[in-house]
Structure 1
Amino acid sequence: MRKVSLGSLVNIRTGKLDANASNPEGKYPFFTCSRETLKIDTYSYDCECVLVAGNGDLNVKYYNGKFDAYQRTYIIESIDKNILNVKYLYYFMQLYVSKLRQMSIGGVIKYIKLNYLTDAKIPLPNIEKQNKIVKVLEKAQELIDKRKAQIEALDQLTQSVFLEMFGDPATNPKKWPMGFIKDLALKTQYGTSKKASEDTGKYPILRMNNITYEGHWDLTDLKYVDLDDKEVEKYLVHKGELLFNRTNSKELVGKTAVYRFEKPMAFAGYLVKLIPNEKANAEFISAYLNSKYGKSILFSMAKNIVGMANINAEELKSIKIYIPPKQLQDQFAEIVQKIESQRELFKKGLVELEKNFNSLMQRAFKGELFND
């Protein structure tokens, strides 16, 4: 199968807006470099395209319609859809993004250059075969989407249970006493600044990318670090403690998750560990910060510093929070544990579906999916 430089087949533009332009009540999608799609009141683009994050997570999306985009998002359109099917391009980019991650440059937040896209070599069969490949991959993608929908429903269930048990944090209808997160914290601790290794070190180290926006864990990209005896107490996180992402892009700063694993791990300096005191369960604090209200508070208080946003430990502790009885928080945590157990089963099934899907894509772009 012949390969063609992508730059000869597409037009590539970049978004124009800053992430501050988002509006939770907006009518149109607002694509940023995170996996989360925000909203906006207006649109600048109306097209069928593939969107590639230019920095940060380096993810890929397909969209057809009206939208707007963050200034570091690449918007890729086919020059001639009779030569290059946009969905075919999307599936190719899903594979190619792993190479983009390897090529990315920069410090804490990696980024890619435009020529990394234009120089990419895409296998280009005729349009009829592209269409056949797209149909096969779409059917496989449907199975993945259904499983993801089940997982998302469980995430919504957690928030639904939270609101039912404690009430909307914005209005506190149950009239719980008010306080601050510092009133629920025994201790906070910044993570280690030690340089991590790809494959050597006693302890896996959690970094900002390991916490998802929804408050879960993605352990597919772990590095390792060694800690001496004094550092172990400070820089290990244990089951039932909370990690908070204090520095990231504005839309991602404040990602929060409870550490639910038996074996402790190290955590990096862009995270804050919070150990709850006798008044609190970390699952309650995490659900509060991951609620719609909590996300809006975190977004509004994040300070931009040289392209990054920051909420330090003292600012985290200063966030207002209602304080229900500890017994009720513990009951909520038990429900969360059951939901998380089911979620893990669904995730394992999703991993298998995605593995099969990736195998299909590999075969498709090697010309092995159909006999010529």
Structure 2
Amino acid sequence: MKQGWEYKKLGEVCHITMGQSPDGNSINDNEGVEFHQGKTCFGEQTLGVSNLFSNAPVKLAEAHSVLLCVRAPVGYPNITERKICIGRGLCALYAKEDIDNKFLFYSLLSKQSHFEKNATGSTFKAISSKVVSNTEIPIPPKSTQLAIVSELDKINELIRLKKEQLKDYDDLAQSIFYEMFGDPVENEKEWEVKKLKDTCDELFAGGDVPKNNYSKTKEGNYIYPIYTNGIVNEGLYGYTDIIRVNKDSLTISARGTIGAVFKRKANYYPAIRLITIVPQDSLLDLDYTMFALKGICIEGAGGTIPQLTVPTLKLYNIQVPPLPLQRLFAQRIEQIEHQKSEVAKAITDLETLLASRMQHWFE
């Protein structure tokens, strides 16, 4: 234990309020107290705004409380700057001793694996009030708390700025596309237009993951990535010894939040909820096609869950500007991607530093 520090249970140093859902009839969109059931509106550190309210709240979290997810997923903290109504997925911790609420936030953040290990339930993992109350955190002098918070906040701010920089590069790339080619729907520059099916060597939907030929990690012959819906982490599912696409190509997410387009290196296996596109080299550059598809308003068909189908996508119109102009655009995109990779590396380094400093202070 560091000199001048002590360890105490959360139940000793915080008022803990376990959430409870209000009557369903009290939930509305404009009257009463803002209602949060789980982490849907969580930000990096500070709670966002919900569009739900309760005019008969049961459990309240006071302003400047630290919220903690206690039902799947468990262990995620956030700070609320205002009084809110909380449901069963959350609990609120309000420090009753001399503890800075941002320091309490970082303390809980460092305990995420602890909460996950102590969660129970087969279908939905949850942590009990007893687990929360008995969890110990280090408590240094207030001046030390503030110094720790300042250090960690500075690293987080640098990470935030770098992520903003990545977004700026994405916006720049899109801006260059519109400057060179115009709106891909309006086609004000009057480029030649073709159906997507007439500009591709391949356009097909992904299939089921090969049952007996894959692993979640690279093991033995399992070296080729499997991609699923390209929304989270570019949809990486696992690895296989089977190659279905042996050329650089594009994939489009085809179900749920549809329309996310990713460029893929050759030799991979596309799984369900993905459509793979291999443009004809003589007509379309890969980078140009990716940005053109991003600019097309892709509207999925289907009931509750929108879907994009291969027959629908084949009939989409795509502009076909001169290939040298497309390749000039690709060169500019390559330069931007190089800059993005440098920024992404800086983010990784900062996140490693943050994890190291968190471990230093809280473990």
TM bracket, shorter-chain basis: 0.5 to 0.7
- Distance, in Å, in 2 between the alignment partners of 1:197 and 1:319 is 36
Give the SS at the match of 1:2: strand
Q: How does 1:178-193 map to 2 (within 5 A)?
A: 178-189=193-204, 190-193=206-209
Cα distance, 1:226–1:117 mapped onto 2, change above 3 Å: farther
- Distance, in Å, in 1 between the alignment partners of 2:192 and 2:50 is 37
- Distance, in Å, in 2 between the alignment partners of 1:206 and 1:332 is 29
Cα offset for 1:74? 5.5
Cα offset for 1:270? 3.0
**Of the candidates 2, 23, 38, which is equivalent to residue 8 of structure 2?**
2
Cα distance, 1:101–1:4 mapped onto 2, change above 3 Å: closer
1:149 maps to 2:149: no
Q: Is the 8 A contact 2:15 2:93 kept in 1?
A: no
Q: Percent identity of the aligned residues?
A: 22
Q: Deviations over 1:67-109 (max 9, x none)?
A: x9xxx99666434476765534544565556678899999xxx
Q: Deviations over 1:170-193 (max 9, x none)?
A: 533323344443333221231452
Give the SS at the match of 1:205: strand
**Of the candidates 278, 283, 294, which is equivalent to residue 279 of structure 1?**
283
Q: Deviations over 1:261-300 (max 9, x none)?
A: 4x63333333222101232222123223334xx4xx34x4
Q: Is the 8 A contact 2:228 2:272 kept in 1?
A: no
Q: How does 1:99-110 map to 2 (within 5 A)?
A: none
Q: Is the 8 A contact 1:4 1:124 kept in 2?
A: no
Give the SS at the match of 1:337: helix
Q: Deviations over 1:114-157 (max 9, x none)?
A: 43898464625268254433222101112222222222221111
Cα distance, 1:208–1:115 mapped onto 2, change above 3 Å: farther
2:263 aligned residue: 258
Output the amino acid matched with 2:241.
Answer: D
Gaps of 5+ in 1: 22-30, 367-372
Cα offset for 1:197? 1.6
Q: Is the 8 A contact 1:253 1:310 kept in 2?
A: yes
- Distance, in Å, in 2 between the alignment partners of 1:269 and 1:61 is 33
Output the amino acid matched with 1:115.
Answer: I
Output the amino acid matched with 2:186.
Answer: T
**Of the candidates 125, 144, 155, which is equivalent to residue 139 of structure 2?**
125
Give the SS at the match of 1:330: helix
**Of the candidates 98, 108, 127, which is equivalent to residue 115 of structure 1?**
127
Output the amino acid matched with 2:254.
Answer: R
Count of residue pairs the alignment pairs up: 321
1:290 aligned residue: 294
Output the amino acid matched with 1:185.
Answer: C
Q: Could you say which structure has the larger radius of gyration?
A: 2
Gaps of 5+ in 2: 1-6, 30-38, 55-61
2:227 aligned residue: 207
Cα distance, 1:355–1:322 mapped onto 2, change above 3 Å: same
1:163 maps to 2:178: yes
Cα offset for 1:112? 5.3
Give the SS at the match of 2:216: coil
Q: CA RMSD in A?
A: 4.8
Q: Is the 8 A contact 1:242 1:274 kept in 2?
A: yes
Give the SS at the match of 2:348: helix
